[in-house]
Structure 1
Amino acid sequence: MPRRKELSEDLQSRIVDLHEAGKGYKSISKSLDVHVSTVRQTVYKWRKFSTFATLPRRGRPVKMTARAQRRMLNEVKKNPRVSAKDLQKSLAHANIFVDTSTIRKTLNKNGVHGRTSRRKPLLSKKNIAAHRLSTNGESSA
């Protein structure tokens, strides 16, 4: 099941108040319509950090927002031959400053890969004639 948005501070404080009043995790869960593990995690966070505020997470925050990704993908759909440099410039107009490698990684994650089609030799007159024969139901062998 996908993760949901964080609980409001009001709801978190009600969870902690009910727990301090002696209620169990299951009864709090049923009364507030919140998952039991969420109740347990909220109480744990209150005991350990004495706060409901969102604490800093590990790792570097992403620079490419979901809106920026959609904007970039729409540009690529309009013009599939657009370069990463051009996308970087268009994103800079929207005050999103990212490196070209970030743009390429984001496009790759969304299934857009920078590949060129294979060069195929033109058919010779001999091959065209053989193809016509084989499509008419006759075998050329």
Structure 2
Amino acid sequence: MVKTKELTDFECGKVINYYEAGDTERAISEKTGYEKTTIHNIITKYHKTGAITVAPRSSCPKKLTVRDKRHFKAIINKNWRKPEENLREIFTASTGNDVGRSTMQRTLYGMGYNSCTALRKLSVSERNRKI
């Protein structure tokens, strides 16, 4: 069976409470509606680690920091008529941080700039308000 979602800490705690009260895995499965394998995995993890919380996930570090984004916004405000490729070149020259085109496009979109024409349509106060 495919794992569809992860149980919350509250749901895992409920399973552990049933287990500590003396219920079997099968009985817990019937009471909660979770699969017996899920119940077994929660109890096994509880015995090994003593915790029921979900471990934090690791991820790739971001290419642009908050400071880089502020700097990129300043470049946009000064050169708002230039296309994205030129803005990226200016950013790379000023910071030395070579960032790909898709990263810059995602960053622009995240700041509220949807295209180069959108940069022209925003007033100065709207451009300053985005970040």
Q: Give TM-score scaled by structure 1 length.
A: 0.44
Higher helix share: 2
Structure index of larger Rg: 1
Higher relative contact order (CA 8 A, sep 6+): 2
Q: Give TM-score scaled by structure 2 length.
A: 0.47
